[in-house]
A and B are shown apart, each in its own frame.
Chain A
Amino acid sequence: MPIDKSMNVLIVDDYKTMLRIIRNLPKQIEFNNVEEASDGAEALAKLRGGNFGLVISDWNMAPMTGLQLLQEVRADNRLKQTPFIMITAESKTENVVAAKQAGVSNYIVKPFNAETLKEKIEKVLGHA
């Protein structure tokens, strides 16, 4: 089954340039409905108020980090099944372990390329 390009995708990063890059990179997928948030709290509000099929989030943000956002999502009955990809410069083992324990669907380390992003998106959406 092909990826549903009409699903709502939320990308979360405190760097506007990163939001723009992530929005533009998965050309081969071309999601039609991409929304943006610049920190965890804003993202959580959008997730609770909408219907998203995928979250792609940075880790290092304030006041709510990407990890805290992930924990909130996994603790929310309505949101807990949402695929969640962490894209971050945090590349220490302890970070990856913490994200995995919090229930991350996949983990991409910055800097990354379009191919990696596409591959992980397809994987978490069950199309790999």
Chain B
Amino acid sequence: MPKPSRENEFLLAHRLAEIRANRPNVEPHIVSEVIRAVLTTMSEDLTIHDTALLLEVEELGRTIANAKIEIAALKVDDINGSHIPFATDELDAIVSHTAAATNAILESCETLDNVAATATGAMAANLQNATTRIYEACSFQDITGQRITKIVATLKTIEDKVARIIATFGPKVADIPTAPKPELTPGEELLNGPQLPREAMDQSDIDKLMASFD
């Protein structure tokens, strides 16, 4: 450690005198001990490498702090709390609706088949060809269902990864102020799309609601 100059010694003595005046109850030897303890932890001057490393560490800290703010702005808790469950529910609803529609089509097709059985000649053949094409086309429900199942699995993977990010950054993420929600136009505010069956009103509910305004 380089030896302090006379000028520095004078400044230090002057500073200590100031502190002593402000805090008369503190014994000077205690202050000296504290300063000595701090100085002894510094074994030597910082090298260029040490300085570069410190700057790197500082930069790393800043990057982590920024990442926390960005993650908070994304509202990661919302991703697992509402976005992914919402998407999964919507996909489940698609499977359910297409299954119901396909069954209705197949039922009508079977009725047509029964009619075809009572017909003869070209009419019977035409009817049967038409119903066969409908049966074939209805297999879309199985294919789309399997594809949707894959998407649900992908969402689950994303959910797990997001949960890991939240766990890594800790609960403090939730405390960081988030960016305000983008403002919706009056038209956009009401664009909710089809409701999930459990949340939707049926026609009788709507009739009651409409009647309540009369």
Residues of A within 8 A of B (CB): 13, 15-18, 20-21, 24-25, 27, 60, 89, 110-114
Using known A-B contacts A18-B139, A110-B139, A112-B139, determine if residue A24 contacts B106 with beta carbons closer than 8 Å: yes
Q: Which of A17, A18, A89, A111 has the most CB of B within 10 A?
A: A17
A60/B146 in contact, CB under 8 A: yes
- Min CB gap B92→A, angstroms: 15
Q: Which of B113, B131, B135 has the most CB of A within 10 A?
A: B135
Using known A-B contacts A25-B132, A113-B136, A114-B132, determine if residue A17 contacts B143 with beta carbons closer than 8 Å: no
A15/B145 in contact, CB under 8 A: yes
A111/B140 in contact, CB under 8 A: yes
Task: List, sorted by A's number, 5 A–B pairs whose CB atoms are closer than 8 Å.
Answer: A15-B142, A17-B142, A21-B136, A27-B132, A89-B142
List the 9 closest A-B pairs by CB distance, nearest first.
Answer: A15-B142, A17-B102, A111-B139, A18-B142, A114-B132, A17-B141, A113-B136, A20-B106, A21-B135
**Which residues of chain A have C-beta atoms less than 8 A from B139's C-beta?**
17-18, 21, 110-112
B136/A17 in contact, CB under 8 A: no
**Which residues of chain A have C-beta atoms less than 8 A from B132's C-beta?**
25, 27, 114
**Which residues of chain A have C-beta atoms less than 8 A from B131's C-beta?**
24
Using known A-B contacts A24-B135, A111-B140, determine if residue A17 contacts B103 with beta carbons closer than 8 Å: yes
**Which residues of chain A have C-beta atoms less than 8 A from B113's C-beta?**
24, 27
B146/A21 in contact, CB under 8 A: no
- Min CB gap A63→B, angstroms: 15
In the bound assembly, the distance between CA atoms of A17 and B139 in angstroms comes to 7
A110/B136 in contact, CB under 8 A: no
- Residue on A nearest B102 in the bound complex, by CB: A17
- Residue on A nearest B137 in the bound complex, by CB: A111
In the bound assembly, the distance between CA atoms of A20 and B131 in angstroms comes to 13
- Min CB gap A52→B, angstroms: 22
Q: Which of B102, B110, B139, B143 has the most CB of A within 10 A?
A: B139
**Which residues of chain B have C-beta atoms less than 8 A from A24's C-beta?**
106, 109-110, 113, 131, 135
B128/A21 in contact, CB under 8 A: no
